Amino acid sequence: MKGFDVVIIGGGLSGSSTALNLSKKGYSVLIIEKEKSQDYKPCAGGMASSMQKFLPFNIEDCIESKIKNVEFRWKAADNVTADLTGESPFWIVKREKLDQLLLDGSLSNGVQLMRQLLIKKIIKKNDKWEITCNNKIKYITEFLVIADGSQSKWASYFNLGPKKPKFANTISLRLKGLGEIPRDAVRFEFGFIKFGFAWAFPLRESLNIGLGTFINNGLLENQAINQQVIRSFGFDDFPHKTTSKKLRIWNGFHSINGDKVLAVGDAASLCDPFLAEGIRPSLISSFYAAEYIDQCLAGKVDDLNLYTKKINNIWGKSMAWGRRIAQVFYRFPRTGYQLGVKRKTAPKRIAQILSGEMSYEDIAKRVIRRLLTQSRT
């Protein structure tokens, strides 16, 4: 039997950053991760440079590209480009590299990691969590963090987040070379994917490509369409090796904490329901998870309820409007592109949302009104 202040289930981006933030505050932390180390993690890799403030050290070594332009296209034509303001407000990273950097940082700060370990049972005993794993060792902890991603088993077990999570279906791949994508630009390709879009984010010597559908849980198995997407990015053939994944997207205001337990990142259903952004909510929720666990352990507050209120306020309010935009935009994509993207100010606004300068709330009412009015005519 081993005791810790905090046990974190999941050693990915959310789990590692939560562990790092807690270890910096002097707490004993254990990460339990069921998977072995991964050489590749499917993720577009885009993150606002403003997220650096939620990390305890500089991540410059992880940055593959610094983005100056955001490109939008409708079926490989009808281009619209937005310039990003400021100095490198949007970065592209390799997720496996960023995750490992945060994990290494937490381990060097005293965090313990148990990899390829399966949790069999979690019970509350004497006001502490008792975790039984397949190594026959029991781990005792004051606080529990659920960070096991979009396929989370434990979020629903503890009634964290929506009772019926909503998922986006995605296909991810990484191709050598940049095709037709400039090194300092990201591209969003609309029109090919029903109820969704495709994206291309440049790394130093390769390209992160993704296809996602956000409504009706549609599949992405039309190879002819997928081939068109790949060719629009400047490659000849759609590769056989891809990664399919269900992203747990934001789906309403729900409690993401319980009694001495909380969820972070994808496990908390925080992924952007319009543009599938996941790194930003992972880092934000991990930062505040550590803050409020610290307050509880220090005796400043009695529970973790302020964590849910904080995340709902700084992230959920924007995502509520992002979901409304997605529901209209992806049902009427051609109209959405003409009225929502091609308007003079729209590309700039979307770029500002990506870089964290604006929220969906700032633009949503006008966008939705235009889309609904035009779709009825």
pLDDT tens digits for range 247-274: 999 999 999 999 999 999 999 999 999 9
Q: Is residue 277 part of a domain?
A: yes
As a whole number, the mean pLDDT across the chain is 92
CA distances in angstroms from 145 to 103, 136, 142, 190, listed in the order given = 15, 21, 10, 37
Q: Widest CA span of the chain, in angstroms?
A: 67
Containing structural domain, residue 105: 2-59+93-164+251-322
Overall pTM surpassing 0.85 (yes/no): yes
For residue 349, the model assigns a pLDDT of: 83
Q: Is residue 187 part of a domain?
A: no
**Total domain count for the chain?**
1
pLDDT tens digits for range 356-372: 888 888 887 777 777 67
For residue 150, the model assigns a pLDDT of: 96
**63, containing H or E segment:** strand 63-67
Q: Is residue 27 part of a domain?
A: yes
Residues of the chain with pLDDT > 70, as a percent, come to: 97
Q: Is residue 150 part of a domain?
A: yes
Average pLDDT for residues 65-71, to the nearest whole number?
93
Cβ burial of 189 (10 Å; 0-12, 13-18, 19+) is buried
Q: Is residue 105 part of a domain?
A: yes
Q: Is residue 100 part of a domain?
A: yes
Average pLDDT for residues 80-105, to the nearest whole number?
89
Q: Among the listed ranges 20-24, 235-239, 368-372, which one has the minimum average pLDDT value?
A: 368-372
Check which CATH number belongs to the domain holding 135 and give it.
Answer: 3.50.50.60
CA distance 320 to 17: 25
A 10 A CB-CB count for 110 gives 13
Is the pLDDT score of 376 beyond 70?
no
Residues of the chain with pLDDT > 90, as a percent, come to: 74
For residue 369, the model assigns a pLDDT of: 77
